[in-house]
Amino acid sequence: MRTTLLAIMALFAFTFMAAAADLNGKYTGEMTTQRGPQTVTYTFATSGGTVTGSTTGRNGETPIADGKIDGSTLTFSITRPGRNGGDPMKIVYTGKISADGSSVDLSYDMGRGPQTVTLKKQ
């Protein structure tokens, strides 16, 4: 009986974690930049613990790389071309997905200190 109860509790726990990690779809948010507020759109697709997709903003569309999801934690990176032909810049993002999947709180650093943005599911 105890083994059955533990198995049922584990099943509910895994079901809850999977629901919390439902990231598929488009999310938008507003980043604060040196040029003022910028609207950004992220499109995410998940398969198991892998996340793919892209971000779209003032600089056009950029693919997501190294995307991973673990429970409600999201990590990925993007690489932007360097200014005036300079070295490309890799930006690493870490985020927390809300329990209902309706928002993601992202943090990132572009060399000017940590920044945050809250994305809302469209």
**What does the pLDDT look like over 64-122, one tens digit per residue?**
999 999 999 999 999 988 888 789 999 999 999 999 999 999 999 877 788 999 999 99
Nearest-angstrom CA–CA distance, 55 and 80: 11
Nearest-angstrom CA–CA distance, 73 and 104: 9
State the pTM of this model: 0.78
pLDDT beyond 90 at 17: no
pLDDT of residue 122: 94
pLDDT beyond 50 at 15: no
Distance of CA 42 to the CA centre of its chain: 8
Nearest-angstrom CA–CA distance, 122 and 108: 22
pLDDT of residue 4: 55
Domain harbouring 63, CATH code: 2.40.128.120
pLDDT beyond 60 at 16: no
pLDDT of residue 3: 61
The residues facing 3 across adjacent strands are: none
Among the ranges given (19-23, 29-33, 96-100, 114-118), the one the predictor scored with the smallest mean pLDDT? 19-23
pLDDT of residue 65: 97
What is the average pLDDT value for the chain, to the nearest integer? 84
Tokens 């790389």 locate to 65
- Domain count for the chain, please give it: 1
Q: Which domain holds residue 46?
A: 2-121
Distance of CA 52 to the CA centre of its chain: 10
